[in-house]
Amino acid sequence: MLLDNPAVGTLFQAEAITRARTLLSYFPGGVGAYSDSRGAPGIRQEVADFIEARDGGVPSDPANIFLTDGASPAVKYILNALIRDGRDGILVPIPQYPLYSATIQLAGGQLLGYGLVEADGWGLDVPALRVQAVAARAAGTAVRALVFINPGNPTGQCLPADALADLIKFAYEEKVVLMADEVYQENTYDPARPFVSAKKVLAGLGEPFASSVELVSFHTVSKGSTGECGLRGGYMEAVNILPATMDELYKISSINLCPNTMGQAAVSLMVAGPPAGTEAAKAYEATRSGTIVSYQRRAKAVALAFNACEGVSCNATEGAMYAFPRLNLPPKALAAAKAAGKSPDTWYCLQLVEETGILTVPGSGFGQEPGTFHLRTTILPSEDRLGKMMADFAAFQAKLMDAYRE
Amino acid sequence: MLLDNPAVGTLFQAEAITRARTLLSYFPGGVGAYSDSRGAPGIRQEVADFIEARDGGVPSDPANIFLTDGASPAVKYILNALIRDGRDGILVPIPQYPLYSATIQLAGGQLLGYGLVEADGWGLDVPALRVQAVAARAAGTAVRALVFINPGNPTGQCLPADALADLIKFAYEEKVVLMADEVYQENTYDPARPFVSAKKVLAGLGEPFASSVELVSFHTVSKGSTGECGLRGGYMEAVNILPATMDELYKISSINLCPNTMGQAAVSLMVAGPPAGTEAAKAYEATRSGTIVSYQRRAKAVALAFNACEGVSCNATEGAMYAFPRLNLPPKALAAAKAAGKSPDTWYCLQLVEETGILTVPGSGFGQEPGTFHLRTTILPSEDRLGKMMADFAAFQAKLMDAYRE
């Protein structure tokens, strides 16, 4: 085996070589062979251990873990399993990550958009959700599931435990599956708003919720401090799903044979770092927390800069990697957009990229309350470039406000 | 960069290091970043070059190449794009690889099974296909596409150029998309039956076919001499597809962000070996042809051994990795299966695995002409184990025939 060659020891630390051997032991046929369609059992066990530790000891069963090629295929498995025909509806937050609208459309279901409350930091309005679910049922739609994204994409909010508890009670009453998009769980920037998993809240609520509300949570190596999005590694944990449905999910996952083995290895590295107390663990933790703290600084700087601009307001990015500022455009600007035959947010983003090179996405790509206009940007530019980017934005916005002021 | 460390040179040959640098140059953000949703442009160019060389110079455009996580997601993209609702039908060979039946069912379409002719070496009956397509249309089904698997899975036949030409003319007349599952194109064992791509035959037919028949071909790193199935690498080439449809395929592929980068790298290695004339090229070609020649011996040995058994007949495995022998079971055996509440092929395969440890799949898992019974086995056991396996099979079959003889 290549790992036995002494030259390997001059290239990699001893802990890394040991880790590679452990990983190889999870793939008895090698990484070039198919694994179990749900992923290598050894890695699914590591994921379950990670979840248990994260949730303060709430048990996690590796039989409920499916490794996947990133989180997107996992979301698609679940939506494909849930949507039978055009009468099935899925509650999806607005603004949303377009994976949901695209997959629901491909699967032939109905997207039931529920608004996040911008004035409440993109929070949930569960009473409004109830009204919406009842109305959808009355109109003949079978409400099958509710998607929530926590921390939010593109909105950046972190849901507190009580909001999650309300959501779980809603799911219990309305008998809908909760789809918890928790891919940004490591990306949190406000100590007052830590990530709390839906599963932990569910366990804490006790019966009748804890053993009956169906919950599927998604995670990935593409975000957090790992950021290895090209490798396509992820997992889902399915809780309280009926055994017959789990069998169907296994069958659906086996159509694609197995998730890619290198992505599985990346999941392993994300959920199980170097052994505690080793030098490698110290170095790893320093890199990890350094990455997150840098994102934290950037998240603050971006919101601050947006809010300093006339005509722009922006909720804090408590988590994830985005800001979704609102553009309060003067009537003359709206008229100019109309004259150009474009929606105001698209008109704005096109001018922004042409004049400054700053590439953003119009809010309409994610959905927004009618009559409001936003753009989405990421907090990912390196810190030495971010200041210049926000200064360029501020100059662009000031010029635009002057040009279209009444 | 790690590759600059001299220790790397003691572990890998110079050609391999150069190749790694080329591969890295295809991923400007590194393999940990998303690539283009259709795959890295440099690798799509290599794939196009490979196809051109394979097809004797018929041009291939990298704009028509989509890299994928193995061939299965590519098949799913196309079926999802083709199937609008339950009135859409897809012609699929019987026996077939179950990816097709499963995906068509998930997409909500109709599987229109067309029989391969066992007595003609699992050949095509294009006149019968015409009758079937006309009947399906008359019954209100929109026939959207025809799938063929060449070399055949699980049937092992290699289609000659004239059969492919008939299929292309059928597709032209009936306006159906041809889905060419050509994942076993490197696995051919009979010099009289080499692999001929549908695209090459299409180009050779000239107009009106060459520029109008819509053809999508699938390939993978999971088969051939590569066999790196766990890495999930593959590609499709889409020919004569309308630009607007290509845009939709691009959009569908982008829902999953990108194919995994390590699988893309594996595709690169499959389609572009070491530079001709180098020592590395010689070693590579020796390994490659040694693998295929070994499969060739195994394919012959398996068919020979099946045909030497009373009550078993088996077409030659001209290509792919399987044999699909027919079990001509005596009436008493059929009665015993019925008494056991099992279909005869399932009853047979269960006994076979219990008595000998040989694991096979009943023909009903792939589809078979009613009243006929088959099993599917692979030719993959190593040569030193294959003789024992076939001897065990022969002893089992002889005992079974004696036990149920009239």
List pLDDT tens digits, range A273-282.
Answer: 998 898 899 9
CB contact under 8 A, B103 and A255: yes
CB contact under 8 A, B70 and A256: yes
Average pLDDT of span B180-197? 96
The residue count of chain A comes to 406
List pLDDT tens digits, range B42-63.
Answer: 999 999 999 999 999 999 999 9
Q: How far apart are CA B283 and CA B29, in angstroms?
A: 32
User: Which tokens go with B197?
Assistant: 């791509």
**pLDDT the model gives residue A402:** 95
CB contact under 8 A, A260 and B263: yes
> Considering only CA atoms, which of B80, B74, B86, B159 is closest in space to residue B116?
B159
Pick the most confident of B65-69, B75-79, B402-406. B65-69
B214 touches chain A (CB under 8 A): no
What are the b/e assignments for B119-134, b being 16+ CB within 10 Å? eebbbbbeeebeebbe
On whether the B34-271 domain is CATH 3.40.640.10, my answer is yes
Chain B contact set for A76 (CB, 8 A):
255-256
Chain A contact set for B72 (CB, 8 A):
255-257
Average pLDDT of span B161-174? 97
CB contact under 8 A, B228 and A32: yes
Packing angle of the helix pair B14-26, B279-307 (nearest 10 deg): 90
- Going by the DSSP 8-state scheme, the letter that residue A120 receives in this structure is G
**Mind telling me how many Å the CA of A209 is from chain B's nearest CA?**
31
Q: Which of A69, A106, A287 to mutate to test the interface with B (most CBs of B within 10 A)?
A: A69
Average pLDDT of span B296-317? 95
Q: What are phi and psi of A60, to 5 degrees?
A: -130, 135
B38 touches chain A (CB under 8 A): no
Share the mean pLDDT of chain B. Answer: 95
Q: Please give the full DSSP string across B341-356, using - where no structure is assigned.
A: TS-HHHHHHHHHHHHH
Span(s) in chain B for CATH 3.90.1150.10 = 279-404
Span(s) in chain A for CATH 3.90.1150.10 = 288-404
Q: Which of B2, B232, B247 to mutate to test the interface with A (most CBs of A within 10 A)?
A: B232
pLDDT at B314 over 90: yes
Q: How far apart are CA A269 and CA B24, in angstroms?
A: 22
Residue with tokens 């004049």: A355
Q: Which fold has domain A288-404?
A: Aspartate Aminotransferase, domain 1 (3.90.1150)
pLDDT at B101 over 90: yes
Reduced to 3 states (helix: H, G, I; strand: E, B; else coil), residue A146 is strand
> Considering only CA atoms, which of A202, A169, A197, A167 is closest in space to residue A182?
A197
Tens digits of pLDDT across chain A (406 residues): 788 898 898 999 889 999 999 999 999 999 999 999 999 999 999 999 999 999 999 999 999 999 999 999 999 989 988 998 899 999 999 999 889 999 999 888 999 999 999 999 999 999 999 999 999 999 999 999 999 999 999 999 999 999 999 999 999 999 999 999 999 999 999 999 999 999 999 999 999 999 999 999 999 999 999 999 999 999 999 999 999 999 989 988 888 889 999 999 999 999 999 988 988 999 999 999 999 999 999 999 999 999 999 999 999 999 999 999 999 999 999 999 999 999 999 999 999 999 999 999 999 999 999 999 999 999 999 999 999 999 999 999 999 999 998 8
List pLDDT tens digits, range B347-366.
Answer: 999 999 999 999 999 999 99
pTM of the model: 0.93
Chain B: residue whose CA lies nearest to A97: B255
Chain B contact set for A381 (CB, 8 A):
none
List pLDDT tens digits, range B71-81.
Answer: 999 999 899 88
Chain B contact set for A99 (CB, 8 A):
255
pLDDT at B304 over 90: yes
**Side-chain-facing half-sphere of B343: CA atoms under 13 Å:** 16
CB contact under 8 A, A230 and B29: yes
Comparing CB atoms, the residue among B85, B256, B262 nearest residue A231 is B262
**pLDDT the model gives residue B2:** 85
Span(s) in chain A for CATH 3.40.640.10 = 34-271
A260 touches chain B (CB under 8 A): yes
Give CA angle at B89 (B86, B93), nearest 5°. 140
pLDDT at B98 over 90: no
List pLDDT tens digits, range B250-278.
Answer: 988 888 889 999 999 999 999 999 988 98
> What is the complex's ipTM, to 2 decimals?
0.92
Average pLDDT of span B156-171? 96
Residue with tokens 């591969």: B23
Q: How far apart are CA A70 and CA A263, in angstroms?
A: 8
Q: Which fold has domain B279-404?
A: Aspartate Aminotransferase, domain 1 (3.90.1150)
Q: What are phi and psi of B26, to 5 degrees?
A: -75, -15
Chain B from 262 to 291: CB within 8 A of any A CB: 262-263
Chain B contact set for A252 (CB, 8 A):
106
